[in-house]
Amino acid sequence: MKRRLKDSMYRWFYVLPTVVLVFFIFIVPIIYEVWLSFQAKPVGGEPVFAGLYNYQRLLSSETFYKTVANTIIYSFSSVFVKALIGLGAALLLNEKFWGRGFLRGFSILPWAFPSFVCAVLFWFNYDYRGTFNTLLKALGLQPVHWLSYNNAMLSVVILNIWHGWPFFFMGYLAGLQAIPVDLYEAADIDGATALQKFRHITLPMLKPVILTVVLLSLMWTMGEFTQIYMTTGGGPIDATLTIPIQTYKIAFQTEVNMPLAAAYSILVLPIYLALIYFTLRQMGE
């Protein structure tokens, strides 16, 4: 009896610090941010209550819609390609061959590099004298201004793909290894082709992993700040201005307007909350 009472105290004692910290790092700021978003800051003055002023301002500005569109283009195209490359690499490295172990370890390299390191690597690639243009010239093609208005979005997407695909690869590989071998053996006996086995065994068995990994990566990519900030800074003009960059700019760079940035965050939060909802549901809790 005494032990049972002690136990129930321990249980709470163990989770309490985490609950308190999560409360102060997430819940309190969210509430504070909502309150802040109804304030307005006159130039050089103290913030005053202003109702929906910030929201009206944002909703009537073209930049708002541009940032949402940019974020969606950026994250969806990037995640789509990452998912494909990851699948290809996982299928390849699930086969037995000499050097597989090395290649599996080596494939994690881009993902093991921090975001800002990947951004620096790509500075050298996107520079006019850098890797990509040197390769283009070697192939007899015209060099490209990689970070110009028309190419900037493609360039930040390539950078994100290069950095993020190993996460898909690792997830898929673990998923592939969990598929029972006898399923394939039975299919062999029935005379199934490789394509049929892929469509009717591999894909359905991988489906839960694919969904979870895609959703998680979508969340992270939609929140990517470092790579874009360090390569294009959201520019040129607004070519790569995504939600995280714009939040930072409103709060600390162009406007230095905290209430407006708060309203902006609250306004875009539903996009993320929808994704969070699907992600949590997929994670099966």
Partner 1 sequence: MPTRQNLYKRIVIVFGSTLLLLWIIVPSFWAFKTSLSPHEEAWKPLPSRMTLDHYISLFSPTYEAILRGQGLRATIPDPMIIYISNSFIVSLVASILGVFFGSLAGYSLARFNYPGKRFVVWLVLFAYVFPVFTLMVPITLIIRAIGLYNSLIGLALVHLAYTLPYSTLMMRSYFYGIPVSLEEAALIDGCTRFEALWRIVVPVAVPGFVTAFIFSFTLSWNDLLFALILLNTSKYYTLPIATTFFLFGGEIVDPGGLAATAIFAGIVPAVIYMFVQKYVVVGLIKGAVKM
**Scanning residues 128 to 147, which ones bind partner 1 (CB under 8 A)?**
129-131, 134-135, 147
Which is nearer to partner 1, 73 or 236 (by Cβ)? 236
Which is nearer to partner 1, 73 or 121 (by Cβ)? 121
Minimum separation from the CB atom of position 220 to partner 1 (A): 8
Contact status: 3 vs partner 1 (CB under 8 A): yes
Contact status: 225 vs partner 1 (CB under 8 A): yes
Please say whether the beta carbons of 100 and 177 come within 8 A: no
Contact status: 122 vs partner 1 (CB under 8 A): yes
| Angle in degrees, CA 126, 128, 134, rounded to 5 | 85
* CA–CA gap between residue 30 and residue 84 (Å, rounded): 36
Contact status: 182 vs partner 1 (CB under 8 A): no
3-state secondary structure 64-79: HHHHHHHHHHHHHHHH
What the block records as the tokens of 98 is 């000499």
Contact status: 103 vs partner 1 (CB under 8 A): yes
The conformational region for residue 242 under phi > 0 = left, psi -120 to 50 = alpha, else beta, is: beta
Please say whether the beta carbons of 79 and 214 come within 8 A: yes
Mark the segment that binds partner 1 (CB under 8 A) among 56-64, 82-90, 148-156, 195-203. 82-90
What the block records as the tokens of 121 is 């690597």
Minimum separation from the CB atom of position 151 to partner 1 (A): 14
Contact status: 86 vs partner 1 (CB under 8 A): no
Residues forming beta bridges with residue 48, ordered by sequence position: 40
Q: Which of 29, 51, 180, 204 binds partner 1 (CB under 8 A)?
A: 29
